[in-house]
Chain A
Amino acid sequence: MTITALDRPGGPSPAGTDLAVMADGLVKTFGEQRAVDGVDLAVRPGEIFGVLGPNGAGKTTMLRMLATLLKIDGGHAEIFGVDVAREPHVIRQLVGVTGQYASVDEILTARENLWLFGRLQGIASKRARRIAEDLLAQFGLQDAADKPIAHFSGGMRRRLDLAASLITRPPLIFLDEPTTGLDPRTRGQMWETIRGLVADGCTVLLTTQYLDEADQLADRIAVIDHGRKVAEGTPDELKTAVGDSTLQLLLSDPDSVPAAAAVVRRILGSDPVLSPELGRLNVALEQADLAADVLIALRDSGVSIASMNVAKPSLDEVFLALTGHGTEEEENR
């Protein structure tokens, strides 16, 4: 089951200039390595577009090329119809960039940071101060406004970093792994903030390693691996390919794997995924409820289970379902 439809079925692809981001065959090479290897992207105005991929997939590299932070080695990119390679100065006025690692000044306070970035973008001192004040309030940073960033927690740093990208209210925001390393509560707050940006009329291009984050936030998702796009679609389309949840089974007797696989095929009409670990198999489920049907059928067939668990599909399973191979670790077994 591979999603090949790169355009959403039904919706005609918008004309090139109407897109927020249009990338055509983007390439970046580092020596021998093709970190980004011919990626096409079409981000529509007003949507949250998620780029999903494991470590080293080329997410950051792609975003940095689009943000004019890295030279584009091949292909072509436009943002709101402006050529990225030819007019970097204009692109920098259109895009607010929040990188994977906080890019704020450690020695300055939060308030000073926001003022500095405002001034550097040509905002008069007084107005820059007022914008800084508003952003500090919006991101719940007033209490820490006069502390040096060096004393900030990871979550506070992230929020300040995002605030710093919004000073001129750019129409397009890049977020590179906005919630990696955040605790669940802070993560939820960040999601709310990102949805708020879109409600205000921004377009968001974000990267993530988490399927659930892409699912929660993104209108459309591109899955990339080894610098190539392996799938693109709405979260629903991807989930149909992967299943809503996964039943993870450990059999008491590793030799009963073929029998168990036959049962799964009979009940669900699809094959389970065999894990490298002996006697372990993962079953993609369209709904978690189907787990019960599988378990009952297994007991009826006399296949004994040592342990079981129903979980959200991992990125690895997405890859397996979409590409027929796993992520790096899985592949090197």
Chain B
Amino acid sequence: MTTTLAPATRGRDRAATARRTVSTSETVSQTMTMAWRSLKNMRRQPEQFFDVVLQPLIFTAMFAYIFGGAVSGSVEDYLPLMIPGIVAQTVLTTCMVTGTKLREDMEKGVFDRFKSLPMARIAPLAGPMVADLSRYTIASVLTFATGILMGYRPGGGFTGVTAAILLSIFTGWALAWIFTWIGTIARSAQAVQGISMLILFPLTFLSNAFVPVDTLPSWLAAFVRVNPVSHLVTAARDLANHGTVSSAVFWTLLAGVIVIAIFAPLSVSSYKRRHV
């Protein structure tokens, strides 16, 4: 561009040739660029990985030795029941961090620029979530690895375990949209954390993650049976321990898709409403 157009012509030409909407391929490319930004951030602040590294190690060991004897008679017998539960729990906790980090990030000046650029409104939300796939992967792989070190021998073999991990990552990513939405509506990062805890605890503990459902009183069992986390745990157990694709896999995937279909548009619209 060597010629200098007259200011009025330049403005009018630009207005005439401007894109009216964001295409899908632009949206994907912008999301990946935002994911690159998040990964750079993570690499420069590796302490962001503390939770996904330490939680699987500590929780696996702690839960196994505390509940193992009481629930299953021994630690080794408890591991096949517990490991998929811990995976679900760590992935959910990681989701919560997604929402909190987004809220913190949105306070920064750079978000003003993202808002002033002609980019898809979903990219600043989805980008960090794509980068967070690395966190879900670390959390679930480490949990299985810790379990195996403690004597867990998954019957589903490598394929079964890999499938269980992939399913957990997908579910984590889907549920993260709930927390992203909370991130776009809450007033502060602390508020996101507070609200998320309120959702997280019933979801993880009122599930079959750590205890068999038939030991529960019937009113509680009713909730536990419809809890999507229970489906994830059941599906992951069936995959990892037996290598079977049970109907729970289907329910988990369906729940994930429903959550995305509801909370992704909600997040984008509340991001837009608050900031434009």
A interface residues with partner B (beta carbon < 8 Å) = 18, 20, 45-46, 67-71, 79-82, 87-90, 92-95, 97, 99, 101-108, 112, 116-117, 119-122, 148, 164, 169-172, 200-203
Neighbouring B residues of A20 by C-beta, 8 Å: 7-8, 11
Interface residues, chain B, with chain A CB atoms under 8 Å away: 1, 4-8, 10-12, 14-15, 18-22, 26, 29-30, 33-34, 36-37, 40-41, 44-45, 108-119, 123, 275-276
Name the CB-closest residue of A to B3: A201
A80 with B6: CB separation less than 8 A:
no
A45 and B26 alpha carbons, distance in the complex (Å): 30
Task: Tell me, in angstroms, the Cα distance from A99 to B109 when the chains sit together.
Answer: 9
Cβ of A201 and Cβ of B110 under 8 Å apart?
no
Interface of A is mostly: loop
Q: Is the CB of A45 within 8 A of B8?
A: yes
Contact across chains for B20 and A80 when beta carbons are under 8 A apart: no
On whether the beta carbons of B37 and A97 are closer than 8 Å, the reply is: no
Residue of B nearest to A47 (CB): B7
Query: Chain B residues with Cβ under 8 A from A171's Cβ?
Result: 7, 10-11, 14
Q: List 9 A-B contacts (CB under 8 A).
A: A68-B276, A71-B276, A82-B18, A89-B21, A107-B44, A116-B33, A201-B7, A201-B10, A202-B7
Q: Which residues does chain B contribute within 8 Å of A119, judged by CB atoms?
A: 29-30, 33
Selected from A93, A120, A201, the residue in CB contact (under 8 A) with B33 is A120
Q: Are B119 and A68 in contact (CB under 8 A)?
A: no
Q: Is the interface of B mostly helix, strand, loop or mixed?
A: helix
The 6 A-B pairs with the shortest beta carbon distances in the complex, nearest first, are A46-B7, A45-B8, A45-B7, A80-B11, A92-B118, A171-B11
Residues of A within 8 A of B112 (CB): 69, 97, 99, 101, 103
Report how far A94 CA is from B7 CA in the complex, Å.
12
B113 lies within 8 A of A117 (CB): yes
Contact B117 A169 (CB under 8 A): no
When C-beta atoms are compared, the residue in chain A nearest to B116 turns out to be A97
Beyond A69-B275, A80-B15, A101-B109, whether A95 also contacts B8 by CB under 8 A is no
B110: min CB distance to chain A, Å: 4
Would you give the shortest CB distance from B60 to chain A, in whole angstroms? 32
**A107-B40, A107-B45, A201-B5 known; A93 vs B118 contact (CB < 8 Å):** yes
Q: Check B30–A120 contact: CB distance below 8 A.
A: yes
* Contact pick for B11, options A87, A117, A148, A172, CB 8 Å: A172
Please name all residues of chain B whose beta carbon is closer than 8 Å to the beta carbon of A200 when the two chains form the complex.
4
Expressed in whole angstroms, the Cα–Cα distance for A87 and B41 within the complex equals: 33
Give Cα A70 to B112, complex, Å.
11
- Which of A67, A89, A104, A203 meets B20, CB within 8 Å? A89
Q: Is the CB of A104 within 8 A of B11?
A: no
